[in-house]
Structure formats: structure tokens, C-alpha cells
Structure 1
Amino acid sequence: MLRRPFLAFTIAGFALCAPAGFAQSAPPAMQAQVIAPDAVLGARAPELRALLGAMGLYDILAIMAAEGRESAPDLEADMFPGQGGAAWMAVVAGIYATDKMTAAFEAALPVERLSDADIASLRAFFESDLGARIAAGEIAARQAFLDPSHEQIATDLAEERAAQNHPRIAQLTEFNIVNDLVERNVSGALNANFAFYMGLSDGGAFAAPIPEEMMLAQVWDQEAAIRAETVQWLLAYQTLAYEDLSDADMAAYIALSRSAAGQAINASLFAAFDIVFNAISHDLGRAAAGFIAGEDT
């Protein structure tokens, strides 16, 4: 149910510039939300927070934050080579601060989509032996993928099994269809990339204003590549994450995903992730614009 934030930042065809008077603050619509004490999930929905803990969501968020921080050098190399250094690393570390991401995720989570009965049934599953093993496998695989060599090994194994029509690939494909993981990830990535372009534009990175329809066209050009990467990554990640599960275990997880409660938690998680990563992408774009302009942020 948990996704990788795919961000395929490219700015081909857009002229960048170093404008005078670069604004340091985010526009009002994108300012960070102040989380009121009663908005903290543990206070307003403790049973839901316990469910997310059992699912390993908070561990996954911490790993996602680490993934984001580790992406900083690549983004610098693509957009403003040699101009970022420690200052850029510090900016990205702030954007991908684990506590900030966690608070934003909890604030964005549509609590009303989940009934008490949904939460209770999901907790019963994820607090069982099977649920605990699923959560542990997902966390361990995500952690392992911080090392590209481990991701490559899992990718090779998934591709080998796909070529052999291995039964597990069929189960993983069914799991992804039931949870609509490919479409949700592709849509989320495209929206996040558009938010990144908007951040660049709001930060004054372009030599001339870029119409939104041009940005949308540029983003849409990435769809096929993002879709292919999404399918490949999901199967590789799931191959590793669920390697210790039996076919019966995997079938039980698919059945949970197909249930009303499973569909509700999946939709809720993606809704929150979309809000969080669109904001992060906009912040990254805006911050990158400052370095493209040759100014500190």
C-alpha cells in the first residue's frame, strides 16, 4: 500500500535565468501549515495512529525522508552543477525533515474516510503475526533499497521470475491491480512533477513566464517513462518485501486489500501522500530556483 515518490525532474526546453530580487519565501498557498495541538493524529484519532504504527508507516516515512535527502546531489548535478554544495544539502535536509514530513502527513490524512470498524479490522490484521511480518518485510525492503546494489538484485530477480511466469509475479500483479498501485503512483508522480515546475516558476527560475499548459505538456511527456519505472520498481520492491511470505500469506494480504477496509486505508494513504509530496516538490522547485539564480536560500 505504500509508495515510492517517483520524481523525474527535467526542464528540457525551458530557458533558465538568474533573476534579480529572488524571493526567499514560499507563496501564501504553499506556506507550511501550522499544526494545532488538537490536529495531532495521536490526539484526534489514537486508534488510527496505532494502526499506522502497526503498518510500519512511520518507519516508511523516515526512510522516504532519507531517500529525499540522498537525492540532493543528483538534483544539483542536473539543474545547477557545482552551485549548491553544503547550502543546497541543508535546504533539502530541511524540506525532507522526518518530523516535518510526519506532521504534514498526519495533518493531510483524511481521517473521515475510515470508520471505527475499518480501523478495528485493519488493526486486527496488522497486529497479527502475518501482519507484523508484512510490515517488517516492507520496512526492511525499503531500507535495503537505499543501497542501489540491493535494488538491482531485487530488480534482476523480479525480471527473472517474470520471464519464468513465476506464480509470485502473478500474485504481485493482482495485488497491484487490487490496490491500483500503478495508476496511483503514476498520477502522483505526474502531479508532483508539475508542482516542481510550479515551484521553479514561482521562484523565478525561467527567463520568461512559462504557461501552465506548456508545463503540463512537459510533465505528460514523462508519463510513459514514469509508468515503466513504476511497474519495474513495484515488482522489485515487492519481490524483496514479501519474499518470506507463502502464497497463502500473500493471498490473505490481497484479500485484505480487496476488502472495504483495505480499499479505504489505501485511498486515505495515497490522498495524504499526494498532498505531502506535492508540497515537497513545490518547495524543492522553489529552492532550486534560488540556486539557479545564483543566490543563497
Structure 2
Amino acid sequence: MTQTRNAPMRRLAATLVAFSLSLFAAPVLAQQSENEKLDALFTALALPEMLQIMREEGLVYGDAMAEDLFGGQPPRRWSAVVSDIYDVDRMTETVRATFGAGLEGDDIDTMLDFFTSAPGQTVITLEVAARRALLDDATDAASKEAAAVAMVDETPRFQLVRDLVEANDLIESNVVGALNSNYAFFMGMLDGGAMQGGVTSETALQQVWGQEGQIRVSTTEWIYAFLLMAYQPLSDDDLEIYTAFSKTDAGQDLNDALFTSFNDMFDDLSRALGLASSRFMVSQEL
């Protein structure tokens, strides 16, 4: 937010006015410049489009949750509550705020240089298109089958994608994020009063950690299915350029900021879903 101050009184000496402006104007302009860079990077990474897709994924997930929690018959207004939780404007605000804080002091210029270049924009366009395509169940299944074959055969393209996955620590970071989100869901359920039988935050944590192996397998499957599908049209040279950027300080800083901002968002969403689920479950029991 740009700070404002009162204009100097007309009777002040010109030298005092100039000195006053020099104290305030430079930091404000610098802050504006950084905010503009962050906005440009946010747009170059197509994060608004990706967040809209994540909202659509959330609505599908909400329907699946209803089948598991309520025996296939969702309560009245369940869909409306899920839609409100996955409010894309609120999701964007959460990610944008944490994203900006996470990049404070980092080399945003280098990030912008890459993601506004032809290889960078191609990567982002392909990732967004693939994420949207995976909303279709048949496409999702086909991508996982193709990825399984590529992983077993260790094809040259799989090896290049694996280099990118390892450079960005995508498996471990996503597993940790999924575990944290699951724990946040349990905490929402617990706070809402639906968890019975002596379940506490400690026992919930144990249950979450018990899912680690299964989450790691499904995470690995999804990441390679997504990336192999997304980068299929990408040349080997451009993929190697992307991996090389990911290994730079700027690439690592960006990756950390993205994971932190999205993990925070998913934790908030998961806790809200857990709380909403518990309220509906408790109301059904009454």
C-alpha cells in the first residue's frame, strides 16, 4: 500500500520543501516499483489463471468429499459452502500477500527476465493448459498411464523432467504440503466438534503421518503425469534452460516463495473444509 502524507504548507522555505520530499518520495517510488515488479511477475507466472483452475479443482473435490462424508447425498447448501470456501478472489489475496513477502529482498528482475522470455512464457502456457486439461477424468487417467510407462522405461524425456523435479525438490515439498493440509483438515474437524472417540491434535497428527507413504506415491504419480504431459511440446533445449534457471539463486528463491504461498492457501482451505464438514455432520446427528 502506498503511504501518503500531507502536502507541505506553502509558507515553508523551498529548501525545506525539497528536503522533505527527498525523505518521503524516494522510498515510496521504490516501493511502488517493487510492487509493480511483483504484479508483473504474478501475471507472467499466470497465477490468476492457475488459481481459477484450482478453484474448479476444489469444487470437484468438494463433490467427492460429499460422497465420502455424507453417503453420496450432500446436505443442502453444501455446494454453496464449498464454493464460498474456494472463493478465487480470497485465494488470490492470500497467495499474492504471502508471495510478495516471500520474495522480499530477492532478485525479482532475474525472475521477470526469464518468465517474460520466450522459453519462460512457453513453459507457463503449457503448464496452465495441462492443469486445465487434467480436470477431465479421462485425460487425467491417460496422463498417468503414459507417465508410468515413461518412468519404467526411463525415457530421455523422463530423465530431463526428473532433473527439473529434483532441482525444485517437487516431490518432498508437495508431500510436506499435502501432510500439512491434511492436518489442517483434521484440526477443522476437531474444532467443529465432529471428531469423537478421544481424537486429539496429537492423535490426528499420528493419523496424518500414517498417510505419508500413500501420499508420496500418489504425489510422485501426479507430478510426473502432469509435467510429462505439460512439457510434451517443449523442446529439450528449452526444458534444459528451465532446469538451469531453477538451479539459480533466483529460481530457488522463487520456488520457495511459491510453495510457501500456495501451502498457506491450501492450509486455510483445508481447515475451512474440515470445519464446514464437521458442522454439517454434527447438524445431521442432532
Structure 1: which amino acid aligns with 2:181? A
Structure 1 match to 2:23:
none
CA distance in 1, matches of 2:149, 2:229: 13
1:132-211 to 2 correspondences below 5 Å: 132-211=121-200
Q: Is the 8 Å Cα contact of residues 192 and 278 (structure 1) preserved in structure 2? A: yes
Out of 198, 207, 211, which is 1:222 matched to?
Answer: 211
Q: Is the 8 Å Cα contact of residues 141 and 241 (structure 1) preserved in structure 2? A: yes
CA distance in 1, matches of 2:250, 2:34: 20
3-state SS of the aligned residue for 2:204?
helix
* TM-score, scaled relative to structure 2: 0.85
| Structure 2 residue 71 is the aligned partner of structure 1 residue 66 | no
Give the Å deviation of 1:112. Answer: 5.1
Once the two structures are aligned, what percentage of the paired residues are identical? 36
Q: Is the 8 Å Cα contact of residues 137 and 241 (structure 1) preserved in structure 2? A: yes
Give the Å deviation of 1:165. Answer: 2.0
Query: Which runs of structure 1 show a deviation greater than 3 angstroms over 4 or more consecutive aligned residues?
Result: 41-44, 112-116
| Greater RCO (CA < 8 Å, at least 6 residues apart) | 1
Q: Is the 8 Å Cα contact of residues 2 and 32 (structure 2) preserved in structure 1? A: no
Give the Å deviation of 1:292. Answer: 0.7
Which protein has the larger Cα radius of gyration, Structure 1 or Structure 2?
A: 2
Give the root-mean-square deviation of aligned CA atoms.
2.1
Structure 1: which amino acid aligns with 2:56? A
Q: Deviations over 1:162-201 (max 9, x none)?
A: 2222111111111111101100000000011001000000
Structure 1: which amino acid aligns with 2:45? M
| Structure 2 residue 79 is the aligned partner of structure 1 residue 93 | no
Structure 2 match to 1:13:
none
The answer to which of 251-260 and 210-219 deviates more is: 210-219
Out of 108, 113, 118, which is 1:124 matched to?
Answer: 113
Unaligned runs of 5+ in 2: 4-30
Structure 1 match to 2:21:
none
CA distance in 2, matches of 1:196, 1:222: 14
Structure 2: which amino acid aligns with 1:213? E
CA distance in 2, matches of 1:135, 1:112: 20
Greater helix share, structure number? 2
Task: Report how many aligned residue pairs link the two structures.
Answer: 258
After superposition, the Cα gap between the structure-2 partners of 1:63 and 1:185, relative to the gap in structure 1 and judged at 3 Å, is: same
Structure 2 match to 1:26:
none
| Structure 2 residue 253 is the aligned partner of structure 1 residue 281 | no
